[in-house]
């Protein structure tokens, strides 16, 4: 026995770098990765805010004693939050998702998770785990919300937010801090922004399509540039916010209104002055296209363009244009209102 152990150790020490001690002999079929759970056909489920989405988890057989546990991986701290646990007969819901989740249970092998009235914070990675003693196994799925990412800074200028202030600012504008995946997708779709901003996991980035001197120089390739993880209390940047489809409508009221009059004009119509995230959502999902600057809830003035034209800013790409944060006493603009 000692000789066999010695030979094994010598083989490990002398094996070439490309060898793997876990490599199966040629022609040997791979053992099945899952014994009880079926591998989902699609690991990503696409949805929008306000919709109902189902994350599939189906068993091919029922162990004698088992539990199925659903959990969500939180990107800000990489911890898993339990959502629901079932033994096939009974179940219990946990956490803030509790009122909006249920098991689909369309048949006795079905442990799929259904989320109603999908919210922005529901996006992310979920895990369906079969707990069966020594034979625990799991499948991972991603819930992906269709949406839009927009850069955001306050009225007092750039680089004013620490992480917690950036998170709160996005939430106040009917959005939330974007994930890296959302920011990367926005970059592939044309987001080009020179100011660095916080994202949900506490790192800081900025997306560049056209390399230029003020944005890292002309020699750096286009991409999502990164500052990495920063001090969430001390470091200050802008924010990249993410929003999805609206459960309501954004519309424009023409006039020469100051900020206070703009809010009252919306209330007179049974609506509220629109938030920045709501305007971006209406531009993205409802193709709202207006050449008129209008007040928004944060005191900024913006307008959405889906069909670029010379008299509407002259920029060649669609987008939400901004006049910044003019004096709230100015009677120059109309207002954008939101009704749910």
Confidence of residue 216 (pLDDT cuts 50, 70, 90): confident
Can you list the pairs that 5-8 forms with residues at least 24 positions away whose Cβ atoms lie under 8 Å?
none
Contact 274, 236 (CB under 8 A): no
> Which tokens go with 223?
């991409």
> Would you state the pLDDT for residue 28?
47
Can you read off the two tokens belonging to residue 177?
């801090």
- What would the mean pLDDT of 41-54 be, rounded to a whole number? 96
Rounded to two decimals, the pTM is: 0.83
Q: Are 338 and 294 in contact (CB under 8 A)?
A: no
Say how far apart CA 48 and CA 60 lie, in whole Å. Answer: 30
Task: Give the pLDDT mean for 202-229.
Answer: 92
Predicted confidence (pLDDT) per residue in 127-174, tens digit:
999 998 766 899 999 999 999 999 999 999 999 999 999 999 999 999
Model pLDDT for residues 243-281, shown as the tens digit of each residue? 999 989 999 999 999 999 999 999 999 999 999 999 999
Q: Are 126 and 101 in contact (CB under 8 A)?
A: no
Closest CA to 242 of 145, 97, 105, 323: 145
Nearest to 266 by CA among 175, 170, 169, 340: 340
**Per-residue confidence (pLDDT) for residue 64, from 0 to 100:** 85
Burial class (CB in 10 A: 0-12, 13-18, 19+), 122: buried
| Integer Cα distance of 46 and 141 in angstroms | 11
List the chain domain ranges: 37-145, 147-243, 245-339
Can you give the pLDDT at residue 217? 85
Q: Which two tokens stand for residue 201?
A: 């996991």
pLDDT at 4: 34
Q: Place 220 in a pLDDT band, splitting at 50, 70 and 90.
A: confident
pLDDT at 65: 87
- For position 74, what pLDDT does the model report? 79
Average pLDDT over the chain reads: 89
pLDDT of residue 17: 32
- Nearest of 167, 302, 188 to residue 238 by alpha carbon: 167
CATH code of the region 147-243: 3.10.100.10
- Read off the tokens for 219: 């020699």
Task: Give residue 67's pLDDT band: very low, low, confident or very high (50, 70, 90).
Answer: very high
Is residue 261 within 8 Å of residue 332, measured between CB atoms?
Answer: no
pLDDT at 132: 84
Give the CATH number of domain 245-339. 3.10.100.10
260's tokens: 């206070």
Average pLDDT score over residue span 16-25: 33
The token pair at 209 is 């399509």
Q: Which pLDDT does position 75 carry in this prediction?
A: 65
Q: Which fold has domain 37-145?
A: Immunoglobulin-like (2.60.40)
**DSSP type of residue 136:** -
CB 274 within 8 A of CB 296: yes
**Which element (helix H / strand E) includes 7?**
helix 2-14
Kindly tell me if the per-residue pLDDT of 22 is higher than 70. no
Distances 158 to 57, 61, 139, 172, 231 between C-alpha atoms, Å: 45, 57, 42, 18, 17
- Whether 147-243 shares its CATH topology with 245-339 is answered yes
With 60 as the cut, is the pLDDT of residue 16 above it? no
Q: Average of pLDDT values for 62-67? A: 89
Say whether pLDDT at 336 is over 90.
yes
What is the reported pLDDT for 51?
Answer: 96
């Amino acid at each position: 026995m000692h000789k066999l152990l010695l030979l094994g150790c010598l083989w490990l020490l002398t094996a070439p770098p490309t060898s793997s001690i876990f490599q199966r002999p040629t022609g040997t079929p791979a053992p099945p990765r899952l014994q009880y759970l079926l591998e989902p056909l699609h690991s990503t489920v696409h949805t929008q805010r306000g919709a109902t989405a189902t994350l599939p988890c189906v068993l091919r057989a029922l162990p004698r004693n088992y539990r199925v546990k659903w959990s969500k991986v939180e990107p800000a701290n990489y911890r898993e939050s339990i959502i629901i646990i079932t033994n096939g007969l009974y179940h219990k819901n946990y956490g803030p998702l509790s009122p909006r989740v249920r098991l689909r249970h369309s048949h006795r092998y079905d442990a799929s998770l259904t989320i109603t009235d999908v919210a922005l914070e529901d996006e992310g990675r979920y895990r369906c785990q079969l707990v069966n003693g020594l034979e625990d196994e799991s499948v991972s799925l991603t819930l992906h919300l269709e949406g839009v990412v927009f850069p955001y800074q306050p009225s007092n200028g750039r680089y004013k937010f620490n992480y917690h202030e950036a998170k709160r600012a996005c939430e106040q504008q009917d959005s939330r801090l974007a994930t890296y995946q959302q920011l990367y997708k926005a970059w592939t779709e044309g987001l080009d922004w020179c100011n660095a901003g916080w994202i949900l996991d506490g790192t800081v980035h900025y997306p560049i399509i056209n390399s230029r001197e003020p944005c890292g120089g002309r020699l750096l390739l286009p991409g999502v540039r990164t500052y990495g993880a920063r001090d969430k209390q001390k470091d200050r940047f802008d924010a990249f916010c993410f929003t999805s489809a609206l459960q309501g409508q954004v519309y424009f009221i023409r006039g020469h209104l100051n900020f206070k009059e703009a809010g009252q004009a919306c209330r007179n119509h049974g609506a509220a002055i629109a938030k920045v995230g709501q305007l971006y959502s209406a531009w993205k999902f409802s193709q709202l296209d207006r050449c008129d600057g209008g007040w928004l809830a944060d005191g900024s003035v913006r307008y959405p363009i889906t069909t670029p034209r010379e008299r509407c800013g002259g920029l060649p790409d669609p987008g939400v244009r901004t006049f910044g944060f003019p004096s709230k006493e100015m009677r120059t603009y109309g207002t954008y209102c939101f009704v749910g």
